Structure 1
């Protein structure tokens, strides 16, 4: 792993800034060349089918010597009324993921044979990036996603609580503007159906993938009521705005999911999984749009009110893809899913 270049772009952190509350970022002692994360989902019309299929997939996924080091499960109802069962899987490096994905059982699943035979949708969005093109922020006692991996340790940092903090937490922002390959989102206006096909789409360089989560499970009565009344409606409104305005925001996909246990029971925690054309597109919404300003100011009000007694827990992780990104794949999916409406696709297989 080569040494980092010298910083040439200044940080946004104000001089003398003191974080309003202690937050932590993931660090890795094994110095991976590239991290590997897989966000995947199964969408089915009939109740229970998506969850059962995901359970079968995860059983296959964990049989390999290169099984994911950590995964979690979630669920959401998409705009087409299909129940999506979602998994986020993490590996310590891309080479382990590469070996895993080539094992016969995983390769067969990825190919979509079962999805085509049983008529469910399957989306498969792998993320592999240099650690310098990623960031995390978490509470020490609330570790989710990348921060929950056994190869990840937490280190307290000061880049939190001000505009531009997320970019400051991405080391590569010191020498790279992290601009997107695609400046604006244009719907292709497809009339052809993607159902019955296995499609591959190369995500554009600079695409920012964000997982941003919240847990209210540790909240007592007062802070739970405040979350439900003051925070959650603003969060839901912001996510709804992004879902309804992909072209204006440069956000081709926004999935708002609820975490589940292994039996499919919903937990008191959720996250939003968003794709933005660039980190700049994400920042523009976060800094300037009323829906995010409402979220931000309400969250800061909660911090100021409860300070160290704050019981609501949040985290996020951001990955900025480069030219070496792996294909996103969609099997038997609706034309509105993921990147399908906006980017050229290659047909890898047809079930018809």
Structure 2
């Protein structure tokens, strides 16, 4: 059956955008999140020093980003985003014991996804050679796309978005360690803002758009009926922990339909949309804040997660306490 397109008739995007191009022969990649959960800053720095070395091994990721966020229980989480374009190298990294807890006095968690290239899409307001950003753009070529600036375009940028929705998860508990086995598919988004090279839009974005965006993300985290399983509002850092002029939101959704429904219909996202375009109209200059996202629709069996000494609202753990039909 041919995939149905959402492109409106005679669609002409209002602005240019770019999408990532995976290298020939790459059919899947690994994206892992690795987090330390604690109330103590010293704990995070001790763990960070050890994790830096693990990400320098021969089987190291192609990309490593770092950030920090405060979770729903008020604990600080330092998190690393790691991408491998060759899943075999990730398997080697795991076999070396690199994802074991870096520091025993804190909570430790990881979430790993084996992502089919045909079930992922990226979108960027700027080319990487014009405005370097984090994530997959650090290693992928980019090309212009006309499939943007309309509702539902994320699905059109994917070759395959047919994974079934999440139904819940089974929890395998061993002392303080909980492994999560997701039942069904699941949707992952990392969406980011980079104002490191901005002068014209820097203050309008930070004062008018970013607060509205944070309220929308907070709403998702507090309302599981939206289909959002968890959100992370992350301040990005360099590998030594220095704060960067970048932020990203990472969220797990029951399905792509739930994510698109929120973006298309819910007032909390429509306020973000309106605040952004209001800013553009007021300034009347080319946008110099870089925005981008990565969205993946993950088939059953492609996500693994573990939580060691973490509180029960961490990450995908709430899936074990609920059912989504």
Say whether the fold is shared (TM-score over 0.5). Answer: yes
The match for 1:161 among 141, 145, 149 is 149
**Counterpart selection for 1:244 from 198, 213, 222:** 222
Deviation per CA, 1:326-346: give whole Å up to 9, x if none.
4211111111101112227xx
Trace 1:49-198 onto structure 2 (pairs within 5 A): 49-63=43-57, 65-103=58-96, 105-106=97-98, 109-110=99-100, 112=101, 114-115=102-103, 118-138=104-124, 139-140=126-127, 141-142=130-131, 143-149=133-139, 152-173=140-161, 176=162, 178-182=163-167, 197-198=176-177
Tell me the distance in 1 between the aligned counterparts of 2:310 and 2:174. 5
Q: Does 1:235 align with 2:213?
A: yes
CA distance in 2 between counterparts of 1:196 and 1:179 reads: 32
Name segments (4+ residues, structure 1) moved above 6 Å.
none
Q: How far is the alpha carbon of 1:309 from its aligned partner?
A: 1.3
The CA distance in 2 between the partners of 1:304 and 1:47, in whole Å, is 42
Query: Do the aligned partners of 1:205 and 1:325 also contact (CA within 8 Å) in 2?
Result: no
CA contact (8 A) 2:120 2:294 kept: yes
Where structure 2 has 5 or more consecutive residues not aligned to the other structure, the ranges are none
| Conserved? CA contact 2:43–2:105, under 8 Å | no
Question: Partner of 1:297 in structure 2?
Answer: 274
Root-mean-square deviation (CA, aligned residues, Å) is 2.3
Structure with the higher fraction of residues in strand conformation: 2
Q: Name the count of aligned residue pairs.
A: 317
2:164–2:299 CA contact under 8 A, matched in 1? no
Report how far residue 208 of structure 1 moved.
Answer: 0.5
Judged with a 3 Å threshold, the aligned counterparts in structure 2 of structure 1 residues 86 and 336 are, in CA distance, closer, same or farther, namely same
Q: TM-score, normalised by structure 1?
A: 0.84
User: Which residue does 1:8 correspond to in 2?
Assistant: 2
The 5 A counterparts of 1:248-259 are 248-259=225-236
Q: How far, CA to CA, are the matches of 1:48 and 1:261 in structure 2?
A: 17
Deviations 1:239-294 (A, max 9, x none): 11011112x11111100001111221111110000000100111111111111001
Unpaired segments of 5 or more residues in structure 1?
1-6, 345-352
Aligned with 1:32: secondary structure? coil
Contact preservation (8 Å) 2:55, 2:64: no
1:306, distance to aligned residue in structure 2 (A): 4.9
Once the two structures are superposed, the pairs formed by residues 254-269 of structure 1 within 5 Å of their partners are 254-269=231-246
Aligned partner of 1:22 in structure 2 is 16
CA drift at 1:196:
5.6
> What secondary structure sits across from 1:327 in the alignment?
strand
CA shift for structure 1 position 228: 2.4
- C-alpha distance in 2, partners of 1:36/1:270? 22
TM-score, normalised via structure 2 length: 0.90
**Contact 2:228–2:252, Cα closer than 8 Å, also in 1:** yes
1:224 and 2:202 are equivalent in the alignment = yes
- The CA distance in 2 between the partners of 1:196 and 1:44, in whole Å, is 19
Match in the other structure for 1:284: 261
Q: In the TM superposition, what is the alpha-carbon distance from 1:97 to its structure 2 partner?
A: 1.1
Residues 294-322 of structure 1 show CA distances to partners (whole Å, capped at 9, x for unaligned) of 11122233344556611111100011111
Contact 1:20 1:303 in 2 (8 A): no
**CA distance in 2 between partners of 1:288 and 1:195 (Å):** 41
Deviation of 1:167 (Å): 1.1
| Residue 166 (structure 1) shift | 1.0
